[in-house]
Amino acid sequence: MLSDLKKKDLYKQGYRLAGNHSAIKVCLWTKKCIRGEDECYKSTFYGIQSHRCIQMTPSFVCSQRCVWCWRDIDFTPAKWEGAVDEPEFVIDECIKEHKKYLQGFKAGCDPKIFAEAMEPKHFAISLSGEPTFYPKLPELIDQIKKRGMTAFLVTNGTNPKMLHRLLENGFEPTQLYITLPAPNEESYIKACSPLAKDNWRKIMESLSLLNKFERNVIRLTLVKGVNMNNIEQYAEIIKRFKPMFVEAKAYVWVGHSKDRLEIKDMPVHEEIMEFAGELAKSIGYKIIDEKKESRVTLLGSCDIAMPGRL
């Protein structure tokens, strides 16, 4: 699925390949947490321990070419090709590569924190590509949970067939995120350059399944001048599907997105808070929490005091 040249490029970016089609990348917040500096918003909102989190993907395939994506969308394959690794192998390789990468952080950090980091407890299935195109995703999630770990799955919603499979097999993730990329189909097509004409319909179908998952979130990745508008249209969609939580998060001007957007397109936290406040009023939710450093705000229905800690 990946050329040797692309593998070298990904390695330079901090990726570590795990088999034929999977990869990990140790995120900034894991590094900060190990150093005792700060934690990810998933820790602030949901209690996920940042130093014990593996950020990974089981698939580089993607059905969209979003303008805000920090990945190299020019290389990203549009369909699955080649071998399909077994879930147990993917998990083992991801853990191995993650722990190998972290060895450079051992000196100078709290020995207890580092020892815990060597025993990961969480898989964030959200690194690159669209993970629902991995054919054995239900078994992957099942194996992660059988090992006593939690699994957050982030999907762009364009493959509802896999969400049906997860539900039918009883292999739902600990928490499911579906990205709502735009307030309407016209804006979606401009922002995400979908590779199939019916992707917007598929996203709506995926959202219709959202509440069948025990813990669920609609995520908004907001870019000024692109999709940070039409709050009432966002509100109509969110009220229709009634997620447990909504995360309003700023686009970050990093990676390959810098070739397509400008730094002025990245909202500051105050702008995210203002957008989230107006959205909350429109959908009857309230702002539960925020993480200024990540430019993200968490909204929940008014009968939820705080999200359950994991």
State pLDDT tens for residues 102-133.
Answer: 998 998 889 999 999 999 999 999 988 999 99
- Cα 257–81–173 angle (5° rounding)? 70
Q: Provide the 3-class DSSP secondary structure of residue 45.
A: helix
User: By percentage, how much of the chain surpasses pLDDT 70?
Assistant: 97
What are the tens digits of pLDDT across the range 37-78? 999 999 999 999 999 999 999 999 999 999 999 887 777 777
d(C-alpha 288, C-alpha 97), whole Å: 35
- 23-25 and 15-17 as β-strands: parallel, antiparallel, unpaired? antiparallel
State the pTM of this model. Answer: 0.94
Q: Which CATH architecture has domain 4-301?
A: Alpha-Beta Barrel (3.20)
Residue with tokens 């949901």: 46
